[in-house]
Amino acid sequence: MSVQQRRIILRHIDEPGYTADIDCYMKHGGYATLQAAIKRPAADLVQEVVDSGLKGRGGAGFPCGVKWRFISPKNTKPVYLIANADESEPGTFKDRQIIHKDPHSAIEGIILSAYAIQAKQAFIYIRGEFPMGAKILMLAIEEARAKGFVGENICGSGYSCDIVVHRGGGAYVCGEETGLIESLEGKRGYPRIKPPYFPAVLGLYQCPTIVNNIETLTTVRYILEMGGKEYAKIGVPNDAGTHIWGVSGMVQKPGYYEIEAGKATVGQLLNELCGGPLPGRKFKAIIPGGISTKLLRFGEKFKIKDADGNEKEIGVEDIPLSAPGLMACGSSLGSAGMIVMDDSVDMTEVLANTNAFFAHESCGQCTPCRYGSLWIAKISKRICEGQGRLEDVDLLKSLADQVEMRTVCALGDALAWPVQSSVNKFRDEHLAKIQAQLDGKSLEPKQPWSLVK
Amino acid sequence: MNLKPETINAIDALIPRYPEKRSAMMMVLHAIQEDIGCISDEAVRWVAEKLGVSDVEVLGVVTFYPMFRQKPLPQKHVKVCRTLSCAMRGSHAVHDTLKEKLGCQCGQSEDGEFEVEYVECMAACDGAPAVMVNDELFENITPETAEAFAEKLKHGEQ
Ligand SMILES: Cc1cc2nc3c(=O)[nH]c(=O)nc-3n(C[C@H](O)[C@H](O)[C@H](O)COP(=O)(O)O)c2cc1C
Ligand code: SF4
Ligand code: FES
């Protein structure tokens, strides 16, 4: 059986003649959900989102409705909603599609969510490298304002909410919600020390603030259109809905594919939708959900439980594309940005490239991350440059272990996981490279160009 | 500092949209950089006064974010992604070719027209290697096509 996409969020995207303007969006049923839902009590909408089982699409997979309920019912301060469109996790490019090709679906989702949590104002924090995206969103907001869907007295309901588009400045750490809030307050994007664990308690200007990924908020529009309980039927238990898989790297057809959670495997995605490996190559490894998720090696075996609860052994290609499926295999769904490596790729260089990214993006606020990221990057670079030592492999692992769970924000974990998994799963490749250097063999990278600079 | 009147108008319209003035910081800096090409010392003082914060708070922001620049940008700022998906598809070779062909081995080209720089993932990994020139994204600039791309940039065709 060949695998099919199930396009909910990408429903109209890439359809011939579908454009980003409001007329096209409304011709396709846009803003009807808002007009109907804004007549309902806000608490009902929150209930729908709770019922839907929607989990955040920003990487951590936190249940959306649960997060919204963290706002205290006794709260008297203004509430803010922030759509996280920082999309800076390497390998991820799903939000870009929504922003560029269907911005009104995001805006409708944002206003619906803002109404549900009774936000005074909403923001879209968009990464600085999306100047076009920011312009498209600003234009779309003005179009929606002219029709009464944004701004004062939305659809005559008496509820008012403006959306401000705010551009970032090229710092990955501002995707982290508290770094983002600092940045939105006009400061350096240093993540805040926890607790409070959730900006829903104390966020922007010390007021309750909900930060959600922009795909999450766009999904809210579709949930309210079909009803939370209906939405919950899509996907698998503990992972409702669809995921937009962004596949890049060494495949024939890199791109984005929206698939119902758990209804296809890694192999089906890569071989059927992405056209398989490049000519004459074989798949070697994937990073399933953005660069900070743990690597999976082809040839590895995993034990998972099937639908009837029986344990079975599977390989990477058989892993179901769902949060529980990937978790059972020791990795995670993350932001569903899958990076594919084939047999031409040198895994020591992959790790060095990844480590260089984190060393560059660490904000430097806490010692394990600031120091650890630089040290790790330096060691893996020296392995690639022919200066490696046999003990470096264990040293890398030990450093990563010392960074993990010891930092202010999850960037520390994000930098540790690729190191741990790569050193565990490609230990021999690392050691062989170092040994070859020690034996005085010349170091030709496998691929024609190096991945580290 | 000579900001265009449109820039000042845009900034004045921007600030009241935020519950607190200071929040407009990044957007104000973007607007200034788009106008005069960088955030000069004078611009830092101007923004500080406008938003009611100290100079050093503005400078702290400018130096934290890679996109803000204290030296003038070239006319064409070429950014090549160095992160994994692009690197595997040859972005380092693309970077080297563009640097050489655009005469940017030592920073900006002599005429100040070009600068080639590495950046991290630009969320265009399906079009790897990805290159941005000013605000425009170009996908699939491969080691094979990089030289032709440089020629087009030089002749203003792209
Ligand atoms: C270093 C780091 C970078 C992050 N980058 C992003 C990002 O670019 N986009 C995003 O939506 N979430 C990002 N997150 C996750 C956010 O902190 C937050 O969990 C998310 O926006 C919540 O939205 P959700 O519940 O809808 O997933 C990042 C987290 C960390 C630790
Ligand atoms: S973990 Fe890294 S990025 Fe996060 S606050 Fe600490 S130094 Fe900054
Ligand atoms: S890795 Fe180059 S755009 Fe994402």
Would you say the C-alpha torsion B88, B91, B94, B96 has a positive or negative sign?
negative
The pLDDT, as a whole number, for residue A419 is 97
Nearest to A93 among B61, B90, B125 (CB): B125
For chains A and B, count residue pairs whose Cβ atoms are closer than 8 Å: 163
| The token pair that represents A138 in the structure block | 């600003």
The pLDDT, as a whole number, for residue A453 is 80
- Distance, in angstroms, between B1 CA and closest chain A CA? 22
The pLDDT, as a whole number, for residue A18 is 97
- Distance, in angstroms, between B83 CA and closest chain A CA? 7
Pocket test for ligand 1, best of A96, A167, A213, A332 (most atoms within 8 A of CB): A213
Q: What residue owns the CA closest to ligand 2's atom 8?
A: A363
For residue A412, the surrounding DSSP H or E stretch is helix A411-425
Q: Give the angle subtended at the CA of A130 by the CAs of B77 and A289, to the nearest 5°.
A: 115
Tell me the sheet residues that pair with A158: none
Given an 8 Å threshold on Cβ–Cβ distance, is B53 in contact with A186?
yes
pLDDT grade for A446, boundaries at 50, 70 and 90: confident
Burial class of residue B77 (count of CB atoms within 10 Å of its CB; 0-12, 13-18, 19+): middle
Alpha carbon A59 to chain centroid distance? Answer: 4
Query: To probe the interface with B, which of A166, A173, A204 has the most B CB atoms within 10 Å?
Result: A166
Alpha-carbon span B104 to B110, nearest angstrom: 8
Amino acid identity, residue B36?
I
For residue B44, the surrounding DSSP H or E stretch is helix B41-51
Tens digits of residue pLDDT in A209-257: 999 999 999 999 999 999 999 999 999 999 999 999 999 999 999 999 9
Alpha-carbon span A241 to A84, nearest angstrom: 20
Average pLDDT over residues A58-69: 97
Alpha-carbon span A398 to A159, nearest angstrom: 54
Q: Residue A165, SS3?
A: strand
- Distance, in angstroms, between A99 CA and closest chain B CA? 12
Pairing assessment for the beta strands B131-133 and B76-81 based on DSSP bridges = antiparallel
Residue with tokens 């992160």: B83
Alpha-carbon span B83 to A309, nearest angstrom: 40
- Distance, in angstroms, between A185 CA and closest chain B CA? 4
- Residue B84: count of CB within 10 angstroms of its CB: 30
Alpha-carbon span A309 to A321, nearest angstrom: 18
Average pLDDT over residues A156-161: 98
Ligand 3 centroid, distance to A434 Cα (angstroms): 28
Residue with tokens 């009590």: A41
| The token pair that represents B151 in the structure block | 């020629």
A125-143: b or e for each residue (b if 16 or more CB lie within 10 Å)?
Answer: bbbbbbbebbebbbebbeb
For residue A286, the surrounding DSSP H or E stretch is strand A283-287
Identify whether the C-beta of residue A344 lies closer than 8 Å to the C-beta of residue A357. no
Ligand 1 centroid, distance to A22 Cα (angstroms): 28
Identify whether the C-beta of residue A90 lies closer than 8 Å to the C-beta of residue B121. yes
The pLDDT, as a whole number, for residue A7 is 97
Given an 8 Å threshold on Cβ–Cβ distance, is A345 in contact with B121?
no
Q: What are phi and psi of B138, to 5 degrees?
A: -120, 130
Asked if the model's pLDDT at residue B157 lies above 80, the reply is: no
Which of the 8 DSSP states describes residue A72? -
Alpha-carbon span A337 to A325, nearest angstrom: 16
Nearest CA in chain A to B131: A129
pLDDT grade for A59, boundaries at 50, 70 and 90: very high
Residues for chain B: how many in total? 158
Ligand 3 centroid, distance to A376 Cα (angstroms): 22
Neighbouring residues of B148: CB distance < 8 A, sequence distance ≥ 6: none
Which is more confidently placed, B105 or B128?
A: B128
The pLDDT, as a whole number, for residue A442 is 75
Identify whether the C-beta of residue A262 lies closer than 8 Å to the C-beta of residue A325. yes
CB-ligand 2 contact for A191 (6 Å cutoff): yes
Per CB-CB distance under 8 Å, the chain A contacts of B23 are 166, 184-186
For chain B, which domains are there? 5-64 (1.10.10), 76-154 (3.40.30.10)
Tens digits of residue pLDDT in A302-320: 999 887 889 999 999 999 9
Asked if the model's pLDDT at residue A283 lies above 90, the reply is: yes
Neighbouring residues of A23: CB distance < 8 A, sequence distance ≥ 6: none
Q: What are phi and psi of A126, to 5 degrees?
A: -110, 140
Asked if the model's pLDDT at residue A111 lies above 90, the reply is: yes
Query: To probe the interface with A, which of B25, B64, B140 has the most A CB atoms within 10 Å?
Result: B64
Nearest CA in chain A to B121: A90
Alpha-carbon span A2 to A265, nearest angstrom: 11
The pLDDT, as a whole number, for residue B107 is 84
Q: Give the angle subtended at the CA of A183 by the CAs of A332 and A203, to the nearest 5°.
A: 75
Alpha-carbon span A213 to A217, nearest angstrom: 7
CB-ligand 1 contact for A95 (6 Å cutoff): no
Q: What are phi and psi of A355, to 5 degrees?
A: -65, -35
The pLDDT, as a whole number, for residue A72 is 94
Nearest to B123 among A96, A169, A249 (CB): A96
Per CB-CB distance under 8 Å, the chain B contacts of A93 are 123-126
| The token pair that represents A428 in the structure block | 């021999």
Query: To probe the interface with B, which of A180, A205, A270, A449 has the most B CB atoms within 10 Å?
Result: A449
CB-ligand 3 contact for B32 (6 Å cutoff): no
Alpha-carbon span A215 to B123, nearest angstrom: 14
pLDDT grade for A449, boundaries at 50, 70 and 90: confident
For chain A, which domains are there? 22-233 (3.40.50.11540), 237-342 (3.10.20.600), 347-451 (1.20.1440.230)
Q: What residue owns the CA closest to ligand 2's atom 4?
A: A409
The pLDDT, as a whole number, for residue A306 is 81
Alpha-carbon span B150 to B158, nearest angstrom: 9
Ligand 2 centroid, distance to B128 Cα (angstroms): 28
Reported ipTM? 0.97
Asked if the model's pLDDT at residue A444 lies above 80, the reply is: no
Range A150-158 contact pairs with CB under 8 angstroms and sequence separation of 24 or more: A150/A107, A150/A111, A154/A34, A154/A38, A154/A111, A154/A115, A155/A34, A155/A35, A155/A38, A157/A38, A157/A39, A157/A115
Average pLDDT over residues B40-67: 97
| The token pair that represents A369 in the structure block | 């991350």
Q: What share of chain B is helix, strand, coil (3-state, %, to 5)?
A: 50, 10, 40
pLDDT grade for A23, boundaries at 50, 70 and 90: very high
Asked if the model's pLDDT at residue A181 lies above 80, the reply is: yes
| The token pair that represents B51 in the structure block | 């938003």
Burial class of residue A76 (count of CB atoms within 10 Å of its CB; 0-12, 13-18, 19+): exposed
Given an 8 Å threshold on Cβ–Cβ distance, is A186 in contact with B87?
no
Nearest to B67 among A93, A128, A248 (CB): A128
Q: Give the angle subtended at the CA of A195 by the CAs of A201 and A360, to the nearest 5°.
A: 110
For residue A85, the surrounding DSSP H or E stretch is strand A80-85
Is the N-terminal amide bond of B129 cis, ω within 30° of 0? yes
Mean residue pLDDT across chain A: 96
Alpha-carbon span A342 to A283, nearest angstrom: 4
Ligand 3 centroid, distance to A255 Cα (angstroms): 12
Residue with tokens 């040290």: A375
Given an 8 Å threshold on Cβ–Cβ distance, is B61 in contact with A187?
yes
Alpha-carbon span A1 to A135, nearest angstrom: 42
Share of chain B above pLDDT 90, in %: 91
Asked if the model's pLDDT at residue A1 lies above 70, the reply is: no
Average pLDDT over residues B111-127: 96
Alpha-carbon span A449 to A90, nearest angstrom: 20
The pLDDT, as a whole number, for residue A307 is 76
Which is more confidently placed, A305 or A341?
A: A341
Nearest CA in chain A to B53: A186
Amino acid identity, residue A189?
G
Alpha carbon B28 to chain centroid distance? Answer: 15
CB-ligand 2 contact for A364 (6 Å cutoff): yes
